[in-house]
Amino acid sequence: MEVARQNILSLQIDNESDVGVCRRKAVSLASQMGFDEVKTGEVAIMVTELVTNVIKHGGGKGKLVICQFCDEQNHHAMEIWCCDSGNGISDFKKVLKDGYPGKDSLGIGLGTIRRFSDEMEINPLLTGSFRDTFFSDNPTFQNCIRTIKYLPNKYWMGTNKNLEIGAASRCKPGELLNGDSYLVTHLGPHLSVAAVIDGLGHGSEANLASQLARGQIILKSEQPVSALMQHVHNALQGTRGSTIGLLRIDTEIQKISFSGIGNIEGFLFTPEGKKNFLSFGGIMGHNMRTPRVFDFNFKPGDIICMFSDGITSRWKFDEIDWTENTQKIAQNILTHFSRPNDDATVLIIRYVI
C-alpha cells in the first residue's frame, strides 16, 4: 500500500500563544489515535520545543503540520513537520545535545526530540500534493524538521474509522500557489468536520484567504456549524475573501449538517438517490448572509462529494465509478473535469462499516 496521511492539521506559528495552541492540537490527536499518557506527554514536549524554537531562533514565523500517518507496511504513526524562516542550524551535532539552545527555550534541545522520535530528519525532501497543499503558501521557509512517532498496532484507535476520504486539488495552471484548499479534521472517533474552500480569484491573495479560512476552521472546529461559519467570516475580513462549503459529520447518530456560502457545490449520494447541498450567495469576509444549516441522514455506503467551481458542473453523475477507492474517484474527477483557467479541488467522503 502507499503512504497515507489523514487528519492533517496545518497550524501557523506567529507568536508565543501559538505554542499552546499547537501543543493542545497535537495532544488531542495523539490521544484520539491511541497513544498512552506517557507517549502523549512526549508528543507535548516535542511540539512545545519545536514551536518554541521557531519563535526564539527560527525567524519568529513558521508552520507546524501534524497528521495521522500510515506507511507501506500499514504501521500507524504521528508525523510532525515544523518549518521556519530562520538561518538554519550551523552546528547540527551541537544542537543534538541536551541543554542547547539555552535559557530562551526549554533547554532540552533537539536531543530529547530525537529520543522521543522513532525517526527524525532535518530538511527532508518535500514532494507531491502534500508539499503543494501545505507548504507552497510560504516560499520563505528555509528549514524543516520531520519527526515520526509510531503507535503499536494493538493500541491503534484511529480517528473516525467510518470515513474513507479522498481529495485532489491543484492550482490554476501557471500559478505557484493554490487559491483552493480542503480539510477533514476529526473531533473524536465519530465526529468530524470537513470543508472545501475557494479563495476569491487565484494566486497569492486567494491562497492567503483560503489558508486563513482553513486554519480558523481547524482551530474552532468544535463549534456548531452556524457559529463556525460566522467565526470564519469575521476572521476573513480584510482579505480577498472566500467561498466555503462546510460539513459536520456524526457517524454515531448517522447525520451530517451542511452550510455553504458561494459557489462550492456538493451532494450526498445514497441508495435513494442524489441529494444536492444548497449554498447561498455571498463571499465570506465581505457579504455573508445568515448561515443556513441543512441536515441529512448519513448511512453506511453513502458518499459525499464537494468541489470548487474549478470543477465544471457539466459532468454527469453516471460518468463516475462510485465503487472505486475515494482517492481514485477524486483524482479522476480532477483530471477529467477541471477547468483550465482556475484552481480546482474535489473532496470525496464515503461512510464505511
Distance between CA atoms of residues 194 and 335, nearest Å = 22
Is residue 317 over pLDDT 80? yes
Whole-angstrom distance, CA of residue 352 vs CA of residue 338: 27
Residue 7 pLDDT grade (very low, low, confident, very high; cuts 50, 70, 90):
confident
- What architecture is the 4-155 domain classified under in CATH? 2-Layer Sandwich (3.30)
**Higher-scoring residue by pLDDT: 101, 187:** 187
- Bridge partners of 134, per DSSP, are none
How many CB atoms are located within 10 Å of the residue 131 CB?
11
pLDDT of residue 103: 39
Helix (H, G, I), strand (E, B) or coil at 72: coil
Closest CA to 233 of 244, 223, 221, 224: 244
Residue 165 phi, psi (nearest 5): -115, 135
Residue 107's pLDDT is what?
39
In this structure, what C-alpha cell is assigned to residue 203?
494566486
The secondary structure of 158-177 as a DSSP string is -S-TTEEEEEEEEPPTT-SS
CA-CA distance, 323 to 153, in Å (whole number)? 28
pLDDT of residue 189: 79
Binning pLDDT at 50, 70 and 90, where does residue 161 land? confident
Give the amino acid at 288.
M
pLDDT tens profile 205-260:
999 999 899 889 988 888 999 999 999 999 999 999 999 999 999 999 999 999 99
For the cut 60, the answer to whether the pLDDT of residue 157 exceeds it is no
Domain boundaries, the chain: 4-155, 163-351
Supply the pLDDT for residue 140. Answer: 60
State the pLDDT at residue 89: 58
- Model confidence at 319: pLDDT above 70: yes
In this prediction, residues 7-17 reach a mean pLDDT of 87
The CATH superfamily label for domain 163-351 reads PPM-type phosphatase domain (3.60.40.10)
